[in-house]
Amino acid sequence: MMAQTPVPDLPGARHVHSGKVRDMYALDDRRLLMVASDRISAYDFVLETEIPDKGAILTQLSLWWFDQLSRLVPHHVVSTDVPAEVAGRAVVCEALSMFPVECVARGYLAGSGLLDYRAHGGVCGVELPPGLEDGSRLVEPIFTPATKAAVGEHDENVSYEAIVETIGDDVAADLRTMTLAVYAKAEQIARKRGIIVADTKFEFGARPDGTIVLADEVLTPDSSRFWPVDGWRPGQSQPSYDKQDVRDWLTHESGWDRASAEPPPPLPPEVVERTRRRYVEAYERLTGERFVG
């Protein structure tokens, strides 16, 4: 469910869409302005409380990753010359025809992948060997797509065959190949910096000439499961650089009933600060640069 956060008016830009975190504006027929807010979501709710600097961290980390991956895959960023009101947390990007697929790569078993494995012995129709645990490293990374959900709804894991039916065999094969190639490169880069990319999701779009382009955000704590290399212990929940503090507080301390129709309560200051600190730490460990909010 979407919080009723006012969307800023920006000069020369027309608001066209807001997601859980990002607000999208049209600049002209070929360019969009993508603004990352400080909103945070959990359990398909956009929370009332925001995380200071989160939008800037997501934007700057994505830009760093786009640069690292630029020789492997084209990306959608055109410029960082944006209105002063959103400087540091927005980019000008290409208007693409987006594929209706969340392209998920998994190198480790966790989250919804773990639930699928326990129920079916595999993930998204990909069979896995018996005896795997929470946090187990897979023999090789797997492509486990999901359907894109509307705001307030949950992405649904689907089989590769379901994606073929939606977008065609050739495009589905290209997206699988590109997803696994980008994941492999990112996992290698991150591991050298002490972070495991357990899984991540990408979004791709097509230019008018059919070129497939990496879009949206990439390899941030919002779209990826980051674990410290030195803290990895299969068979248990792993420490992570993301919003796990938010999920834990909502589940165990807030008194909120997830099954109810009521929205989650506001986050306490200490949870906000711990969450912000984890996002900053992920940025600094990966980039080797100090985050200046």
- The answer as to whether 190 is a domain residue is yes
Which residues, 6+ apart, have CB-to-CB distance to 219 below 8 Å?
61, 62, 65, 186, 190, 197, 200
Is 68 within the bounds of a domain? no
Assess if residue 58 is contained within a domain: no
* Stated pTM of the model: 0.93
For 33-72, what is each residue's pLDDT tens digit?
A: 999 999 999 888 999 999 999 999 999 999 999 999 999 9
Asked whether residue 174 is assigned to any structural domain, the reply reads yes
Q: Does the residue 189 lie in any domain? A: yes
What integer pLDDT is reported at residue 8 of this predicted model? 80
pLDDT at residue 23 greater than cutoff 70? yes
Number of domains in the chain: 1
- What pLDDT, in 10s, does the model give residues 148-181? 765 545 578 999 999 999 999 999 999 999 999 9
The whole-angstrom separation of Cα 92 and Cα 35 is 9
Q: Within a domain: residue 75?
A: no
Report the CATH number at residue 107: 3.30.470.20
Specify if 103 maps to a domain. yes
Please say whether the beta carbons of 96 and 68 come within 8 A.
no
Domain interval for residue 160 = 97-231
- Residue 201 resides in a domain: yes
Distance (Å, whole) CA 284 – CA 61: 9
